[in-house]
Amino acid sequence: MSDIEIRNAAEAGNDAAGLSAEPDGAQIDAVVIHIRGHLFGIRVGLVRDVLSPHPLTFVHRAPPEVAGLLNLRGRIVTAINLHVRLGLSSEISVHERLHVVVESGGELYALLVDRVGDVISLGAEESPRAKAQLNRDWEAAAEGVFALEGGLLVLLDVSQIIGSRAGLGLVTEEHAA
């Protein structure tokens, strides 16, 4: 999927910004991402861009999941290594991963992934039992789990990936100073 297709999909998702609170079980549009052979999804309305690998600047004393910073059209963007955040090992260098740029709290973040797939619509067929079987890192980062033909897709809660979490937060007093 090209940068233009993702941007168009994200713009379409912004028109339906109520995606996060479908009380009637309506469909959720998500960008599929692949990490170590696992399927994850990010709500289309949160995705701002998909970039080929960009140079990253290392940040001393940053949490382990912060891969570095990148300059995106004059804006400083924090790059988050989803392999580390989700407790997955990686044989791919952070310098070879695609960047899915998302917005949270008015800031941009680049989520480092192995591959980006299509935009799909997820129905109300969430599998709550499967979420209960996720490991601690995945369960804390999951908004829901959906059964697809090729397996399970974990819909990521971007605010949990980026926001403050007990002991795992990207923004802590120690790192803010």
State pLDDT tens for residues 98-123: 899 999 888 999 999 999 999 999 88
Number of domains making up the chain: 1
CA gap 30, 46 in Å, rounded = 9
Instruction: Tell me the CATH number at 110.
Output: 2.40.50.180
In a domain, 24, yes or no: yes
DSSP character for 91? Answer: S
Domain of residue 105: give its range. 3-160
pLDDT above 90 (res 43): yes
Average of per-residue pLDDT across 23-49: 88
In a domain, 110, yes or no: yes
Cα 50 to Cα 10: distance, rounded to the nearest angstrom: 10
Segment 46-55 shows an average pLDDT of: 92
Reported pTM: 0.75
> Per DSSP, which regions of the chain are E strands?
28-35, 38-43, 47-51, 66-72, 75-81, 98-104, 107-113, 115-122, 142-148, 151-156
List, for residues 137-150, the tens digit of each pLDDT value. Answer: 788 888 888 888 87
pLDDT tens per residue across span 73-95: 999 999 999 988 888 876 667 67
* Angle, CA of 78, 2 and 155, to the nearest 5°: 60
